[in-house]
Structure 1
Amino acid sequence: MGKKLGFSDLDEYLFGEGTHYEIYRLLGAHPTAKGKKKGVYFAVWAPHAASVAVVGEFNGWDEKKHPMQRRKNMGIYELFIPDVKEGSLYKYCITTKKGELLYKADPYANWSEKRPGNASRVADISRFTWGDSVWMNKRQSFDADKDPMSVYEVHPGSWMKHPFTEENKEGFYNYRQFAHALADYVKKMGYTHVELMGIAEHPFDGSWGYQVTGYYAPTSRYGTPGDFKYLVNYLHKNKIGVILDWVPAHFPKDAHGLADFDGTPVYEYADPRKGEHPDWGTKVFDYGKNEVKNFLIANAVFWMEEYHIDGLRVDAVASMLYLDYGREDGQWVPNKYGENKNLEAIEFFRHLNSVVLGKYKGTVMIAEESTAWPMVTGRPEEGGLGFSLKWNMGWMHDFLEYMKLDPYFRKFNHYKMTFSLTYAYSERYVLVLSHDEVVHLKCSMINKMPGEAGEKFENLKAGYTYMFGHPGKKLLFMGQDFGQLQEWSEERELDWYLLAEESHQKLQDFVKELLFLYKKYPALYANDHNPEGFEWINADDADKSIFSFIRKSPTGRNNLLFVCNFTPVERKDYRVGVPKRKQYKLILNSADPRFGGDHERSQQVYKAVKKNWDNREFSFGYELPPLSVSVFLY
């Protein structure tokens, strides 16, 4: 049971200022005691309600039995109800100024009824005993600029399923089973982090968790809040970081949710030109309202504090920054300067990132921002938004457009693979091949590739190697690392049976090799945000569709040379210019038979000679296989 609860005038003041970062400890439903009587303290913010009552299993859902008391200042209603047990279902019955009754789930609930039910559940989330102190202490020194970060993006409900039974009709792994299976896989493959989709409670599976109704509740689809803590704890004990998808951009209109919470727009902008997304049919948070900003910033703090989360990937940032995002003329309202920038959202991001990154050293805030908005990862005091990292959507688009081409046409689109280096240091980037790229008839990664089956695998291995050589952190969506053939669907598990086929197993072996290579050599990560860490050898060989470049480590030791051939033509006498008269050791050949290729290399070490090539004084010759990348250590 928690401590004795209740609002003070100071709590109300801080909430009104938007700076009560632990407001979730007061608002919501909290098991506690009043005198010697155990029960639950309920509190809700409903500033324009005529009255509010708690209804639930414990009072027959009767709105007359437990009316709440309104505090004088902020429109906060509170009530202690004795003898309410953990797990009890409840809602707030709100009587509007017009006399209508609204039955709303608790915005600050820590647990929810499993859909299709939508009531809140009483939970005591204070009882879990953490065992991840080694991870949490080490996290303090994590530096997103200089440390490796390879992220496995996962949707828990469709990663892997049990056979369907009467007891488990949906086949879901619960959080605890998922913890063990996922940790085993991620450790085997060599990823450093997982990014979990759809954890905050949401009513509709098909939204993938991007239309949230329970911001403070891990979804009950896979178990209890304690089960989710077990998942994070177990991943941490296995040295795996945990990032959550987080959605502060919008929320759905479901009757039990935040929309028109007390009969008026409370969480959303009142003007529908600001408060509604025409494309998505959702409501937009009012970033000018302190209590709403407090709800969201405290929510980010909540996941870090209560669940030891290591980072948040913030969804749909562009939709928040631009007042005209997805809107036609006449559908949006300019800011006070007549511009399309949402000044309130800009200030919200600076506040959010300053609080979270200031409070939780070693965590990351990652922006999914799809435009050229400047300084997304810049410091707030210098005019930036303050994110740690930004998804590189431009790189992703160009890379996929290039890789989808018949190799004959790649020479006319050579710039698609080089253009990203012109802006690679304008932000701190994550290179992403996310869930969005393998849905809605976009094809799976393997089926985006041109050619017959064998060529598809060679193309994909070459593409992945180029990605791992390019500056930026890395993210792969589940299934991409073994060549999932079908597009992803939240309704079914990944096609794990494909791993019985040699080509898929060897692709997975290759991605595993890449992931371990990435972590082994600082040249691939420690200079990600330093232009001195990357150097083109030849960026202009468009006719052959060959790219060669160097990744340099901060110490100058163990640098890596990449030679990438994106045509099905073998170059038996390929020569590459090099910076030094050194020995160059082949450490990765994507065409190696152990990865499904057919070009074994007996020679592993190549000595540079004094022969001018690629505008370099030294060079060496090498037999370059078709559709392949070779990586040399020097």
Structure 2
Amino acid sequence: MSKLSLLEKDAWLSPHQGAIEATFHNYKDLLDEFGDSHDGIVNFAGNHLFFGLHPYGDGWVFREWAPNAKKIHLIGDFSNWQPVESYRLQQKDHGIWEIFFPANTLKHMDLYKLYVEWEFGTGHRIPAYAKRVIQDPQTLIFSAQVWQPQTPFNWTDNDFQPAFKHPVIYEAHVGMAEKDEKVGTYKEFTNNILPRINEAGYNVIQLMAVQEHPYYGSFGYHVSNFFAASSRFGTPEDLKELVNRAHELGIAVIMDIVHSHAVKNEEEGLSRFDGTLDQYFYPGDRGFHPAWDSRCFDYGKKEVQAFLLSNCRFWLEEYHFDGYRFDGVTSMLYHHHGLEKAFTNYNDYFDGSQDRNALVYLMLANHLIHKIKPKAISVAEEMSGFPGTGAPPEEGGLGFNFRLSMGVPDFWIKLIKELPDEDWDMGTIFHELTQHRPEERTISYAESHDQALVGDKTIIFRLADKEMYDFMSKDTPSLVIDRAIALHKLIRLVTLTTANGGYLNFMGNEFGHPEWIDFPREGNNWSYKYARRQWNLADDKTLKYEWLKAFDTAMINTVVEEKVLTPLPVYQNLANEGDKILVFNRGDFLMVFNFHPSASFPDYGIPVAPGKYKILLNSDRPEYGGFDRIDQAPLYFSEPVGGNPKNGHQLKLYLPNRTGLILRKIPTPRVH
């Protein structure tokens, strides 16, 4: 075979060619085994259509995979929740169990589960492929629920496909999306939050905590039931309506998919499902995540591959999701899970700690996702910078469309914590925001939910701190708040406009949501006070939050409508450390920043291509909390430096302190 293009693009990978090619061959061998040229991988990813509960003729069929079980009974009200012989499953080949039973045994919304017996024990289990799981509010016990409404959901999204190349993502959690101290619902999100996201200009919603999880405070990352949409937010139809409505607005919806680990709970989840610890998970210590107190999948086992790949297919087809943000990819890639590991050179990626099973699984998953939905969005939460994360599997990569630029929020927090803004280095800012591997596109973000969790601080709270409690009224002046608002805008604008693919914002951060996120738990007396979003602050025209909301809306709409992210690469025009001026361009778009805390500069010369320029966005507008120091009406014409065109052209602008601008070069009409 010819050399993989990933190796051709990056000569530094040559010493590791053997490892990369061995992984690729494993991937290709599995595709050949599946018969991928005849959609074999799609059929392989069809376990959810075979296992679990399904109508069958004039009755029901139920199947489960439990190779170590000695007996399995279906239990529910029909059996008085006791194992009875008439509802005992029959053992088939390859660890499969099966039962057929009459239609009147179960009806829509009935509860059921399994009673599994193994050699030295028994236990209640929720079926691995259950599509609906609910918790009893009194006993707090989880059970599977029959979900077979008489009328199927009526999709009206006309096979929606994302029509954009650059996702501008609104990361959201349905449960904490309401302003009241409670768990929000899919319906409330559709009616109350979706219009806000649409108005704000975002073209993708990333939903957290969709897969069912026993503990609300896990933020949805300790999944128990991989095929069940969390019932604490409403019904499957409610979630489908949310996605359907978003599609009608032209907004794609992706979900956090958690295949990096699973909750260790046994009655609710997959751990010790058939009495063994290694049915779905790696044997021994390798099957336990030392930092997350959870279980680690055995990605090399065919039944586990089929389970997880079927999960990828299920959410795309059943709920019309447009792709995934894969959680914890770094943890999957290495036996050490990336814990306490500094990745300083290429040898650190190929030192024998790779989990090749996981690498191959991710290649298969991305191949499958894009086979089912070619324009699907696939994002890796990957912090080690693993080579090939953003390259197609056929080139030797993992196949993700994008990798989250997880170093960017870390950079901003470090900068804010350790240096006053008069010491910020313009060249360093540009470098940190634009560095990426040559084969990958990235999602830039200033902060996500991680930076907002209790124990950490959002950017606005780091900049303003206690002043936010007393000085966010527009009638109450504060130099601290003025600085915080100005830098909050600049940080977001420079992060977005340097993006090498897309951008992400967590719900509420766009208007500087105060304080932190803390889910109800014993330590806070099970309070929902910090597990909500106070939209009323952004809507109150007497408060300064409205300025930040207005700026974010203008920023996102400008970048999306003008397609600012399309031209690549991003070129630095100027980085003046003394003046704190940073200027860069992408195509005909010019981004100009004055980060100086006090100095404003009249007629500041900026090197540009000859032409005339128009201001598209100005952070100093009064409706954004600025001071209206820039005349935005006129066109700005470049002029030769020193009057000699051989010296290049410059644009002379008034640059007030702590201000950011987007300008566009106006095309010169052709003369016929």
Interval containing the TM-score (normalised by the shorter chain): 0.7 to 0.9
* 2:405 match: 392
SS of structure 2 residue aligned to 1:620: strand
Identify if the C-alpha distance between structure 1 residues 616 and 65 changes in structure 2 by more than 3 Å, giving closer, same or farther.
farther
* 2:167 match: 149
* 1:272 match: 284
Post-superposition offset of 1:110:
0.7
**CA–CA separation in structure 2 for the residues paired with 1:480 and 1:211:** 24
Output one character per residue of 1:500-553: Cα deviation in whole Å (capped at 9) or x when no partner.
Answer: 24311011000000111011212x2223xx43xx211013x222322100121x
Contact kept, 8 Å, 1:54 with 1:67, in 2: the verdict is yes
Identity %: 27
Contact kept, 8 Å, 1:588 with 1:632, in 2: the verdict is yes
Aligned ranges 1:538-617 → 2 under 5 Å: 538-539=574-575, 541-552=576-587, 559-573=588-602, 575-602=604-631, 604-611=634-641, 617=648
Output one character per residue of 1:202-226: Cα deviation in whole Å (capped at 9) or x when no partner.
Answer: 0001101000011111111011112
Equivalent of 1:457, from 472, 480, 485? 485
* 2:536 match: 497
**CA–CA separation in structure 1 for the residues paired with 2:589 and 2:244:** 36
Structure 1 residue 632 corresponds to structure 2 residue 663: yes
**CA–CA separation in structure 2 for the residues paired with 1:268 and 1:110:** 18
**CA–CA separation in structure 2 for the residues paired with 1:320 and 1:127:** 40
* 1:436 match: 450
Output one character per residue of 1:180-202: Cα deviation in whole Å (capped at 9) or x when no partner.
Answer: 21221111111111111101110
What residue identity is the alignment partner of 2:114?
Y
Post-superposition offset of 1:137:
4.6
Post-superposition offset of 1:424:
6.0
Post-superposition offset of 1:80:
2.0
* 2:319 match: 307
Post-superposition offset of 1:405:
5.1
What residue identity is the alignment partner of 2:172?
V
SS of structure 1 residue aligned to 2:100: strand
* 1:555 match: none
Greater mean alpha carbon deviation, residues 450-459 or residues 397-406 = 397-406
**CA–CA separation in structure 1 for the residues paired with 2:262 and 2:451:** 23
**CA–CA separation in structure 1 for the residues paired with 2:208 and 2:270:** 21
Contact kept, 8 Å, 2:179 with 2:534, in 1: the verdict is no
Greater mean alpha carbon deviation, residues 338-347 or residues 563-572 = 563-572
Normalized against structure 1, the TM-score is what? 0.87
**CA–CA separation in structure 2 for the residues paired with 1:585 and 1:187:** 26
* 1:486 match: 515
Identify if the C-alpha distance between structure 1 residues 22 and 328 changes in structure 2 by more than 3 Å, giving closer, same or farther.
same
**CA–CA separation in structure 2 for the residues paired with 1:474 and 1:338:** 32
SS of structure 2 residue aligned to 1:295: helix
Identify if the C-alpha distance between structure 1 residues 92 and 351 changes in structure 2 by more than 3 Å, giving closer, same or farther.
same
Contact kept, 8 Å, 2:254 with 2:324, in 1: the verdict is yes
Q: How many residues align?
A: 585
* 1:468 match: 496
What residue identity is the alignment partner of 1:626?
N
Structure 1 residue 104 corresponds to structure 2 residue 125: yes
Equivalent of 1:201, from 212, 236, 247? 212
Post-superposition offset of 1:429:
0.5
Aligned ranges 1:164-179 → 2 under 5 Å: 171-179=182-190
Contact kept, 8 Å, 2:608 with 2:638, in 1: the verdict is no
Post-superposition offset of 1:47:
0.6
What residue identity is the alignment partner of 2:116?
I
* 1:114 match: 135
**CA–CA separation in structure 2 for the residues paired with 1:160 and 1:196:** 14
Contact kept, 8 Å, 1:158 with 1:489, in 2: the verdict is no
| Superposition misfits of 4+ residues, deviation over 6 angstroms | none
Identify if the C-alpha distance between structure 1 residues 542 and 376 changes in structure 2 by more than 3 Å, giving closer, same or farther.
same
Greater mean alpha carbon deviation, residues 20-29 or residues 457-466 = 20-29
What residue identity is the alignment partner of 2:635?
V
**CA–CA separation in structure 2 for the residues paired with 1:360 and 1:217:** 21
Contact kept, 8 Å, 2:387 with 2:437, in 1: the verdict is no
Output one character per residue of 1:92-126: Cα deviation in whole Å (capped at 9) or x when no partner.
Answer: 1110122x111111110110113632111111279
Output one character per residue of 1:293-344: Cα deviation in whole Å (capped at 9) or x when no partner.
Answer: 1111100100001110001100000000011126689xxxxxxx97100000
CA RMSD of aligned residues (A): 2.6
**CA–CA separation in structure 2 for the residues paired with 1:102 and 1:410:** 61
Post-superposition offset of 1:571:
2.4
Output one character per residue of 1:152-207: Cα deviation in whole Å (capped at 9) or x when no partner.
Answer: 11111111155xxxxxxx74343223212122111111111111110111000110
* 1:373 match: 386
Output one character per residue of 1:593-617: Cα deviation in whole Å (capped at 9) or x when no partner.
Answer: 121111332353222111169x961
Output one character per residue of 1:67-114: Cα deviation in whole Å (capped at 9) or x when no partner.
Answer: 43334321111112321111111111110122x111111110110113
Contact kept, 8 Å, 2:169 with 2:204, in 1: the verdict is yes
Post-superposition offset of 1:347:
0.5
Equivalent of 1:323, from 323, 335, 339? 335
Aligned ranges 1:195-274 → 2 under 5 Å: 195-256=206-267, 257-274=269-286
Output one character per residue of 1:397-426: Cα deviation in whole Å (capped at 9) or x when no partner.
Answer: 223333455545534585144234242644
Post-superposition offset of 1:394:
1.9
Output one character per residue of 1:426-448: Cα deviation in whole Å (capped at 9) or x when no partner.
Answer: 41101132100111322122112
Structure 1 residue 350 corresponds to structure 2 residue 350: no
What residue identity is the alignment partner of 1:513?
A
Identify if the C-alpha distance between structure 1 residues 605 and 397 changes in structure 2 by more than 3 Å, giving closer, same or farther.
same
Contact kept, 8 Å, 2:157 with 2:244, in 1: the verdict is no
What residue identity is the alignment partner of 2:655?
L
Identify if the C-alpha distance between structure 1 residues 416 and 563 changes in structure 2 by more than 3 Å, giving closer, same or farther.
closer
Contact kept, 8 Å, 1:403 with 1:459, in 2: the verdict is no
**CA–CA separation in structure 2 for the residues paired with 1:612 and 1:463:** 34
**CA–CA separation in structure 1 for the residues paired with 2:229 and 2:168:** 24
* 1:92 match: 114
Equivalent of 2:50, from 10, 15, 26? 26
Post-superposition offset of 1:58:
2.1
SS of structure 1 residue aligned to 2:262: coil
* 1:183 match: 194
What residue identity is the alignment partner of 2:152?
F
What residue identity is the alignment partner of 2:574?
N
Structure 1 residue 622 corresponds to structure 2 residue 636: no
* 1:519 match: 560
Structure 1 residue 477 corresponds to structure 2 residue 506: yes
**CA–CA separation in structure 1 for the residues paired with 2:306 and 2:642:** 62
Output one character per residue of 1:433-468: Cα deviation in whole Å (capped at 9) or x when no partner.
Answer: 210011132212211226701110011011111122
Aligned ranges 1:70-81 → 2 under 5 Å: 70-81=90-101
Post-superposition offset of 1:273:
2.8
Identify if the C-alpha distance between structure 1 residues 431 and 258 changes in structure 2 by more than 3 Å, giving closer, same or farther.
same
Specify which structure has the higher proportion of helix: 2
SS of structure 2 residue aligned to 1:449: helix
Contact kept, 8 Å, 1:21 with 1:301, in 2: the verdict is yes
Identify if the C-alpha distance between structure 1 residues 425 and 306 changes in structure 2 by more than 3 Å, giving closer, same or farther.
same
Contact kept, 8 Å, 1:243 with 1:312, in 2: the verdict is yes
